[in-house]
């Protein structure tokens, strides 16, 4: 398997495991990665996800040895599966953390930004390298960069294809935090376990609110909040939160 999934309590660690190619994504990996996130979406016991890569790198993008095969139809099929993965990561109703130890380029960059939080190891390097093989960005990269950076900075990164190292990634807002290389996975797990301890349904709905906030005006967004909150007030987790508050203890949420 070139995609591995390890469960540590309520956290699933999804690893791109093809280190000899810096975890370049093959056709086989596309199916495995999509399947992994579909399974996680249905697994009630998993309440947070860490996405990372083996061998000191995150992902070097698509495996170019598989490109150019199948003509236009083959290219369309690849785009469908690549974008299906991007949607599965972005729309997962559970917190996701990308732990980026090294190279994170091409569609790998897209998948990292599809996560809720990006942690950059000291050796992390991000780039929109599509121009090097005369392709436009895919996996939703332009959408994410525009939301994070604004139009001009996003265009500069895409047009130049230049490398962004960890410090700059943090200062630009591409990464949440720079972490010592040897502490990267520990920090990712610390965050994931913290998120996983929260009320699962409410956390998923909060994530959905962020998604909807991009495409709605303020008044429309307030209407969405007004529709969501009564539903949240009927969950077991909400009742537990109220009990814990009255009893002056930490709540124990079950995602129900």
> According to the model, what pLDDT value does residue 73 have?
65
Which CATH fold topology does 3-197 show? 2-enoyl-CoA Hydratase; Chain A, domain 1 (3.90.226)
Which of 137 and 180 is assigned the larger pLDDT? 180
pLDDT band, very low/low/confident/very high, at 151 (cuts 50, 70, 90): very high
The pLDDT of 128-153, averaged and rounded, is 93
> According to the model, what pLDDT value does residue 72 have?
62
Domain ranges of the chain: 3-197, 200-247
Is the pLDDT at 181 greater than 60? The verdict is yes
> According to the model, what pLDDT value does residue 66 have?
66
The pLDDT of 116-134, averaged and rounded, is 95
Cβ atoms of 48 and 96 closer than 8 Å: yes
Is the pLDDT at 212 greater than 60? The verdict is yes
Global pTM reads: 0.91
Q: Choose the most confident range, by mean pLDDT, from 142-146, 200-204, 216-220, 243-247.
A: 142-146
The distance of Cα 109 from the centroid of its chain, to the nearest Å, equals: 10
Residue 134 to residues 112, 161, 238, 244, Cα–Cα distance (Å): 22, 11, 51, 57
User: What percentage of the chain has pLDDT greater than the value 70?
Assistant: 96
In this structure, the number of other CB atoms found within 10 A of the CB of residue 136 comes to 10
Least confident of 69-73, 215-219, 249-253: 69-73
Which of 152 and 133 is assigned the larger pLDDT? 152
b/e code 167-206 from CB counts within 10 Å (16+ = b): eebbebebbbebbeeeebbebbbebbbebbbbbbbbbbbe
Domain 200-247 CATH assignment equals 1.10.12? yes
Residue 165: burial class (beta carbons within 10 Å; 0-12, 13-18, 19+): middle
> According to the model, what pLDDT value does residue 35 have?
96
Q: How far apart are CA 77 and CA 180, in angstroms?
A: 39
The distance of Cα 180 from the centroid of its chain, to the nearest Å, equals: 20
b/e code 9-47 from CB counts within 10 Å (16+ = b): ebbbbbbbbbeebbbbbeeebbebbbebbeebeeeeebb
Tokens of 132: 């090097």
Q: Which ranges of the chain does DSSP label H, i.e. alpha helix? A: 27-42, 71-91, 107-113, 141-149, 151-160, 166-172, 184-196, 200-213, 218-232, 236-247
Q: Name 192's Cβ contacts closer than 8 Å, sequence gap at least 6.
A: 11, 48, 49, 50, 95, 97
Query: Mean pLDDT, the chain, as a whole number?
Result: 92
Is the pLDDT at 166 greater than 80? The verdict is yes
Of 133, 25, 134, 149, give the one whose Cα is nearest residue 89. Answer: 25
> According to the model, what pLDDT value does residue 213 have?
83
> According to the model, what pLDDT value does residue 58 have?
98
Is the pLDDT at 186 greater than 90? The verdict is yes
pLDDT in tens, 61-97: 998 876 656 566 667 777 788 899 999 999 999 999 9
> According to the model, what pLDDT value does residue 1 have?
73
pLDDT band, very low/low/confident/very high, at 43 (cuts 50, 70, 90): very high
């Amino acid at each position: 398997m070139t995609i591995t999934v390890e469960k540590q309590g309520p956290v699933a660690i999804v690893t791109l495991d093809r280190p000899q190619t810096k975890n370049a994504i093959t056709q086989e990996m596309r199916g495995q990665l999509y399947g992994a996130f579909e399974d996680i979406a249905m697994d009630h016991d998993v309440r947070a996800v860490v996405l990372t890569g083996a061998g000191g790198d995150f992902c070097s993008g698509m495996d170019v040895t598989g490109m150019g095969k199948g003509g236009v139809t083959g290219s369309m099929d690849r785009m469908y599966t690549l974008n299906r993965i991007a949607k599965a990561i972005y729309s997962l109703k559970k917190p996701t953390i990308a732990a980026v130890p090294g190279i994170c380029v091409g569609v790998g960059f897209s998948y990292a930004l599809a996560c809720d939080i990006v942690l950059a190891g000291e050796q992390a390097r991000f780039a929109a390298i599509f121009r090097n093989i005369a392709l436009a960005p895919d996996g939703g990269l332009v959408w994410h960069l525009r939301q994070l950076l604004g139009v001009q900075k996003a265009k500069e990164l895409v047009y130049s294809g230049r490398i962004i190292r960890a410090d700059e990634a943090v200062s630009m807002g591409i990464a949440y935090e720079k972490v010592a290389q040897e502490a990267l996975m520990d920090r990712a797990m610390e965050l994931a376990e913290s998120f996983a301890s929260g009320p699962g349904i409410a956390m998923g709905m909060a994530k959905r609110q962020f998604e909807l906030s991009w495409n709605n005006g303020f008044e429309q967004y307030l209407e969405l909040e007004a529709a969501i909150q009564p539903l949240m007030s009927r969950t077991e987790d909400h009742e537990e939160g109220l009990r814990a508050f009255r009893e002056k203890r930490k709540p124990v949420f079950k995602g129900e």
